[in-house]
């Protein structure tokens, strides 16, 4: 006989995703003792410690717990599928992560196509920086994420989508804007407005450092649109990789966008999945639409 229940597995998986019994209970709408009891019963049944209890910080999966968590996610997906009526159309919920700087440019169009072509798939979106999205994938809180490959991948599998080369942004009418192509040395003495999202900041600074240059940082912002607005208002120049369709800032002023010459490291756009797990049919459907979208770029 099977001596465990889907409810126990669900509670265990929720605790792993949310990093604690209290947070899992809140997400599931149950009591914390119910979640803790389910975890204790599974540890007793399997003879394995599933979590390390961190004082005031919640729960962290052990090596055994991580292995059981992967099995639990697979089982819960199969149970969800079994609970639904048979249908030739794809149905279910897809948890999609997206890098903040890519989201506004690409995600709405992708979501419209998903709704049109796969109306039975409910897409739940979470934006974040690369580090946050990577952690969510590792914990099974996301099924797939659209982001940059910044060498952070640990237990994450990546599918390359495209390469985006950095470009320069200048105020409209700036002397350097008269040229079609610039080099980093042309920008080194200009006040730099730097996007300071985790790892994105390091990437842009690394371009200057690789060229033996030290930029003059005037302002920093976590918002790409704020960076563009500051440039448009003459506060400095900047570098970005994501290119909006219009060279007009949020407040209606023109921006001069110019290509950068020389040997520069591009940013690789990828779809990232939890490692050692096959992409579901839902994730594969999204991947096809994402690939089609970037082929148009």
Sequence-separated (6 or more) residues with CB below 8 Å from residue 142? 95, 96, 97, 126, 133, 136, 274
pLDDT digits (tens, 9 = 90+) for 120-178: 999 999 999 888 898 899 888 899 999 998 776 567 888 999 999 999 999 999 999 99
Whats the size of the chain, residue-wise?
A: 297
Q: CA 177, CA 125: separation in Å to the nearest integer? A: 37
pTM of the shown model: 0.70
- For domain 92-163+268-295, the CATH superfamily is Periplasmic binding protein-like II (3.40.190.10)
Nearest C-alpha neighbor of 96 from the set 127, 132, 135? 127
Over 70: is that where the pLDDT of 87 sits?
no
Percentage above 70 pLDDT, the chain: 95
Tens digit of each residue's pLDDT (9 = 90 or more) over 204-227: 999 999 999 999 999 999 999 999
> Could you read off the pLDDT of 232-270 as tens digits, one per residue?
999 999 999 999 889 999 999 999 999 999 889 898 999
Question: Where exactly does CATH 1.10.10.10 map onto the chain?
Answer: 6-66
Fold designation for 6-66: Arc Repressor Mutant, subunit A (1.10.10)
For the domain spanning 166-264, the CATH number is: 3.40.190.10
| pLDDT score for 2 | 76
Query: What was the pLDDT predicted at 88?
Result: 52
Contact 156, 272 (CB under 8 A): yes
| From-to residues of CATH 3.40.190.10 in the chain | 92-163+268-295, 166-264
């Amino acid at each position: 006989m099977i001596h465990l229940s889907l409810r126990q597995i669900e509670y265990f998986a929720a605790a792993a995703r949310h990093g604690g019994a209290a947070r899992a209970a809140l997400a599931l709408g149950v009591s914390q003792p119910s979640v803790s009891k389910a975890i204790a019963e599974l540890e007793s049944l399997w003879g394995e410690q599933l979590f390390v209890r961190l004082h005031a910080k919640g729960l962290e999966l052990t090596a055994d717990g991580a292995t059981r968590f992967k099995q639990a996610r697979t089982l819960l997906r199969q149970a969800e599928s079994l609970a639904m009526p048979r249908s030739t159309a794809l149905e279910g919920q897809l948890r999609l992560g997206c890098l903040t700087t890519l989201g506004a440019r690409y995600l709405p169009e992708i979501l419209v196509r998903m709704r049109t072509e796969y109306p039975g798939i409910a897409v739940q979106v979470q934006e974040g920086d690369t580090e946050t999205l990577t952690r969510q994938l590792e914990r099974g809180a996301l099924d797939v994420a659209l982001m940059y490959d910044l060498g952070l991948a640990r237990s994450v599998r990546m599918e390359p989508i495209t390469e985006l080369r950095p470009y320069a942004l200048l105020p409209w009418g700036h002397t350097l804007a008269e040229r079609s192509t610039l080099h980093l040395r042309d920008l080194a003495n200009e006040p730099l407005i730097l996007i300071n999202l985790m790892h994105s900041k390091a990437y842009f600074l690394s371009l200057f450092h690789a060229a033996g240059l030290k930029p003059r940082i005037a302002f920093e912002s976590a918002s790409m649109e704020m960076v563009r607005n500051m440039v448009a208002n003459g506060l400095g120049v900047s570098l970005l990789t994501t290119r909006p369709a219009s060279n007009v800032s949020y407040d209606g002023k023109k921006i001069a966008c110019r290509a950068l010459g020389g040997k520069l490291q591009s940013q690789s756009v990828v779809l990232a999945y939890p490692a050692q797990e096959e992409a579901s049919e839902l994730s594969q459907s999204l991947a096809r639409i994402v690939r089609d979208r970037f082929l148009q770029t």
